[in-house]
Amino acid sequence: MLLSLAPSALPIGIHHIEKRFGALSILSDLNLDVAAGEFLTLLGPSGSGKTTLLMILAGFVRANAGSIKVGGEEIITMAPHKRNIGMVFQNYALFPHMNVFHNVAFPLKQRRVSAADTKQRVDHALELVRLQGLGERRVDQLSGGQRQRVALARAIVFEPRIVLMDEPLSALDKGLREHMQIELRNLHRRLGMTTVYVTHDQREAITMSDRIAVMNAGRIEQIDQPETIYAKPKTKFVAGFIGESNFIPVECRNGAIWHENQRLRLSGPAPSAGRHLMVVRPEKLRLLANAEQAGDLNVLRATVGDIIYQGDSFICYAALKDGRQITLREYCRSDVLANLPAPGEPIALGIDASDIVLVADQ
Amino acid sequence: MSAVSAGHEHAGRIDGTLNAAALRADTRRQALGFLALLSPGLFLVFAVIIVPVGWLFWLSLFDETGTLSAANYARFFEQASYIKTFMTTFKVAFVVTTACVLLGYPLAYLLSQLPRRAASICLVFVILPFWTSVLVRTYAWLVILQRKGLVNSWLIDHGLISQPLQLANNFTGVVIGMIHIMLPFLVLPLYASMKSIDIDCLRAGMNLGASPAATFRQVFLPLSLPGLASGVVIVFVLCLGFFVTPALMGGGKVIMWAMRMEQAASLYSNWGAGAALGVVLLAVTLSLLGLFRWLLGARAAGVWSSR
């Protein structure tokens, strides 16, 4: 069977990886387990070490220490060409002196696959990425999206145990990028190969991944499903990097949390005593006509600074009593628009207890 | 400007002629401006290339007595020494170019793989000979290669040979001297093309299962061919018209095309014969370049156009 459905997908175990360039530590004691058939995204700002980790997985960069096991087999010292890992490069890295067919057939040629078999498998791979019939095209006759698909076909045609992708969509324009995100995800579901995907685009990570590992300064800050990463960030970095966040300093004493001598209700158990940051997403804040409407909501009082209309929604920038800026986002429903406050007006902002997340104030 | 009319006055006109004449005039003015800027360069090309080459061609049509004749060209078919010179010239150019490829490719590859700093230091050593006159370098080779020169003395002193090798004043000497002078012309374009090869292409080759040797053969080598081709063309064409080194290192035994021209002009004062040699060399070189382009054209089109 051609490009079989995932019986060969293997788990990856990455343990105690250390990577230094001179005195500069890029990765320190990095541990990560990827399940067989999982789509895992490494998400982080540039310089967080995500690409270095991918290069170590592919074998292009040698780690200083650590272990990488694919299906239980240690590959940390294995030469790149023996690893049987497919990779999609950021700039596609298609061979400019070969046409589409020969690009995709390249890995099969190295594996001494017969000509008839090669033809069949290349045709099938091109069909999967919807490029059937373009085999004779030269690489420079293709659009960016088509090159992207050729790179993808080339990376999966030899049924690798693992597929790595290094920001494969970053060179495409927005519409095409969003389209390819869905296509990549569907292809992954059909073929089921273990996939490690690198991006700095948080929306892309949330759209595509089974799990996201958020990296910062050579460490993994949090690894969870997209919903959990967004709703329950564990650190200030994760809350700030994924989505927009308001950070409001709070203090925990006597089993309750306080902001400026105002007691706030929490849905979960109270955290340890001391200072924390309350993370509130702008869309979780509600604009209240008056504080009496609040009911069970926590209420913060603020003064409107500016209101910016964005078509589907508007953003309200307001200042809390201590002068701290806070951002609110509301969809433009007619009842909201009818009661829109003017700049300078005092407002009451409601927060549901279950929407409050506390992180350490670093 | 009065010739340009504001659009609203013509709101009713949709025949596509609004300001057309003014826009045409503007296009013409711009073209004339470009031509004016180009004219000094065009004049220079005309004065130092077109006129002398034309004059050379004109001269080649007259024999020693000043009468119009094809005698200067007939000589190529009648005199065996002309044909021999022709063959020698191509033989030298071929051997030197081949040797430059064999020496220059590994050198350029090494340079392209070195860290940036080390590469720029090594490049200085490639370029340094450029700053020394060809004459000085050729005499230096004579000192090294002659019967009692450095190479022969060293070999005899160490008992490796009993009789000195004939390294200068013959074909070998000409080739050695010319390789030294031609090598940078091959290495520099080749190095530039190797540096422009995307390292991710090589990584992709290995990632897809090609060993380092297979990646070199199937990815790096084909991608470096355009640079190699331009280096080969430059060296080969320069060799065809080379004078100083064959004249000094050949010991009078290796007569190349340019030396014939010099003889015709200064020894026999036959400008027509020399001019005909020049015209034939120019024609041969141009047709070789054309042939080369044609041979490489189909194959390299993909590589070049995708840069």
Sheet holding A298-309, edge to edge: A286-288, A346-351, A298-309, A313-320, A325-331
Domain that holds residue A248: 244-360
Decide if B306 and A138 are in contact by the 8 Å CB cutoff.
Answer: yes
What is the reported pLDDT for B297? 67
Whether residues A150 and A264 share a domain: the answer is no
Q: In whole angstroms, what is the distance from residue B229 CA to residue B304 CA?
A: 12
Cα–chain center distance at A281: 18
What is the reported pLDDT for A6? 45
Q: E strands of chain A, at which residues? A: 12-21, 24-34, 39-43, 65-70, 73-74, 85-88, 162-166, 194-199, 211-216, 219-224, 246-253, 256-259, 262-264, 274-280, 286-288, 298-309, 313-320, 325-331, 346-351, 357-360
Range in A41-55, A239-253, A313-327, B73-87 with the lowest mean pLDDT: B73-87
What is the reported pLDDT for A111? 94
Specify if A4 maps to a domain: no
**Domain spans of chain B, in order of start:** 83-255
| Chain B partners within 8 Å of A61 (Cβ) | none
Number of domains in chain A: 2
Q: What are the tokens at A22?
A: 């001179």
Strand A162-166 and strand A194-199: the pairing is: parallel
What is the reported pLDDT for A84? 92
- H or E, element range at B221: helix B221-240
Whether residues A290 and A267 share a domain: the answer is yes
Q: What are the tokens at A63?
A: 């780690």
Distance from CA of B195 to the nearest CA of A (A): 15
Whether residues A183 and A271 share a domain: the answer is no
Whether residues A185 and A270 share a domain: the answer is no
pLDDT > 70 in chain A, percent? 98
Picking from A210, A235, A260, the residue at the C-terminal end of a domain is A235
Whether residues A269 and A167 share a domain: the answer is no
Which of A188, A197, A184 is closest to A53 using CA atoms?
Answer: A197
Whether residues A189 and A309 share a domain: the answer is no
Q: List pLDDT tens digits, range B229-275.
A: 889 999 999 999 899 999 988 888 888 988 988 888 888 888 888 89
Distance from CA of A53 to the nearest CA of B (A): 15
Whether residues A210 and A302 share a domain: the answer is no
Q: Find, in chain A, the residue whose alpha carbon is nearest to that of B220.
A: A95
Specify if A115 maps to a domain: yes
Residue among B201, B214, B307 whose CB faces A95 most closely:
B201
Mean pLDDT of chain A: 90
Q: Which residues of chain B have pLDDT under 50?
A: 1-2, 301-307
| pLDDT score of A242 more than 60 | yes
Distance from CA of B285 to the nearest CA of A (A): 29
Q: Counting one residue from A and one from B, how many pairs have CB atoms under 8 Å apart?
A: 82
Q: Which CATH code, of 2.60.40.10, 1.10.3720.10, 3.40.630.20, 1.10.260.40, is assigned to B83-255?
A: 1.10.3720.10
Picking from A186, A208, A235, the residue at the C-terminal end of a domain is A235
Beta carbons within 8 Å of B175's beta carbon, 6+ residues apart = B92, B95, B96, B99
Distance from CA of B294 to the nearest CA of A (A): 18
| Chain A partners within 8 Å of B226 (Cβ) | none
What is the reported pLDDT for B298? 53
CATH number of residue A99's parent domain: 3.40.50.300
Decide if B207 and A158 are in contact by the 8 Å CB cutoff.
Answer: no
Dihedral over Cα of B10, B11, B14, B17: its sign = positive
Whether residues A165 and A123 share a domain: the answer is yes
Q: Find, in chain A, the residue whose alpha carbon is nearest to that of B212.
A: A81
- H or E, element range at B28: helix B20-45
Specify if A348 maps to a domain: yes
Does any CB of chain A come closer than 8 Å to the CB of residue B296?
no
Whether residues A95 and A119 share a domain: the answer is yes
Q: List pLDDT tens digits, range A288-301.
A: 877 676 778 888 88
| pLDDT score of A268 more than 80 | no
Q: List pLDDT tens digits, range A74-122.
A: 999 999 999 999 999 999 999 999 999 999 999 999 999 999 999 999 9
What is the pTM assigned to this prediction? 0.80
Specify if A251 maps to a domain: yes
Mean pLDDT value across residues A316-339: 88
Cα Rg of chain A (Å, integer): 25
Whether residues A230 and A248 share a domain: the answer is no
Specify if A5 maps to a domain: no
Whether residues A185 and A312 share a domain: the answer is no
Whether residues A46 and A148 share a domain: the answer is yes
The complex's ipTM works out to: 0.83
What is the reported pLDDT for B250? 87
Specify if A6 maps to a domain: no
Picking from A208, A235, A262, the residue at the C-terminal end of a domain is A235
Q: Find, in chain B, the residue whose alpha carbon is nearest to that of A158.
A: B208
Does any CB of chain A come closer than 8 Å to the CB of residue B210?
yes
- H or E, element range at A338: helix A334-338
Cα angle A196, A198, A202; round to 5? 120
- Percentages of chain A per state (helix, strand, coil), in multiples of 5: 30, 35, 35
Specify if A148 maps to a domain: yes
Specify if A1 maps to a domain: no
